[in-house]
Amino acid sequence: MHYLDYAATSPVRPEIAERYGDYCRRYGGNPHGGTCYAEQLRRALLTAQRRLLNVLGADESQCRILWTSGSTEALNLAISSLQKAQIPLWTDAGAHPAMLKTALSQKDAKLLPLDAHGRIDLSVLALTDSMSSRCLAVCHLNNETGAIQDLTAIRNALPPHSRLLVDASQSFTRCPLLWQEAKLDAVVLSSRKIGGPAAVGALIVRNDCPLSPMLLGGGQQGGFRSGTLDLVGILLFVDAVELAVPQSKSEHAHIKQLATMLWDGLESLALPGYRRLSPIDGYDGINAFALKGYDGAVLMRLLAADHQIIVSSGSACSAETKETSHVLRAMGVDETTARGMLRVSFGYASTAEDIAALLHALPQVVRNY
């Protein structure tokens, strides 16, 4: 199988998989108990928190970590807390549904439009009341197109005392997050995107940022997120982070080579209706293009069934619905083109053979469509 869907889930890194059994034996207890063993587990948890904040460049005296089941829960927790604090909310029109739907479910939330390259139109921020503070919830690295938002420019365009909530599920360890420089108030991370266990996420939030619990129960994590923590998953998540960071430079160089191979190959194929959708200066590991006049969901299934190549057709587009990607709509892409979208994403274990297989298969799939 040629797996080219890292934006959906990065395969667990081999080093992490090898540690799982040992960690289950060592850290399989309840860290919230009153025993000496529970105290050892709590110390391991505190050490993990410091390790993660160190990678982020955040001071543990100025923020806290809330461990969650993934980025969807973390985004819901952060956005609902800000809404309860009656802070006016904006979000970017190309955000992941976990952010977008949560934000738009709140009263008076507003969408910020995207330009043709998938970036937030900062001129809209400049036209707003500069004295009215608010919260902007933004997706740092778009999961469909690879567009990267300039967090420092966004912070500078916001009114004073505004909050900046960042979904860094895709960008963490891949793009500079700039916790200090962009004065981020809250950041959401996902383990499954970097080769860690699937059902672990984190919300890092400054101490002065409002929080209100969504889950009630035993009062764990300061009462903000009740429920027994998956300490094994948390430790493996932090391990995956510390594996990814020192390897990021070499992995990025490798991914850039694969992206060049992909785009050069697609140009050479001259497939009918071909159009590049990802920006030139986006993240090289997430690459979107369209074959206008075709259905991306059908092409995706043919690639999987006939050639064992796994790609995506985006977050919303499918053969059973007329709805196309909200990201592409926000970028002004016409519906016929958007419906033909394919997303090719790769990461640490991707190879040139994967890209070659895709380029070889695409003309056949188009002929057999």
Contact 170, 143 (CB under 8 A): yes
Please compute, for residue 33, the number of CA atoms within 13 A of its CA located in the half-sphere on the CB side: 12
Please name the fold of domain 14-244. Answer: Aspartate Aminotransferase; domain 2 (3.40.640)
User: pLDDT tens digit string along 85-110?
Assistant: 888 899 999 999 999 999 998 888 88
pTM for the whole thing? 0.94
- Give the pLDDT score at 129: 60
* Greatest distance between any 2 Cα atoms in the chain: 66
Q: What sign results for the dihedral spanned by CA atoms 275, 278, 279, 285?
A: negative
- Give the pLDDT score at 121: 86
User: pLDDT tens digit string along 267-291?
Assistant: 999 999 999 999 999 999 999 999 9
The string of DSSP codes covering 234-262 is HHHHHHHHHHHHHHHHHHHHHHHHHHHHH
**Angstrom distance (rounded) from CA 99 to CA 181:** 23
Low-confidence ranges of the chain (pLDDT < 50): 316-320
CATH of 2-6+248-367, one of 3.30.2350.10, 3.90.1150.10, 3.40.50.720, 3.40.50.1100: 3.90.1150.10
All structural domains of the chain with their residue ranges: 2-6+248-367, 14-244
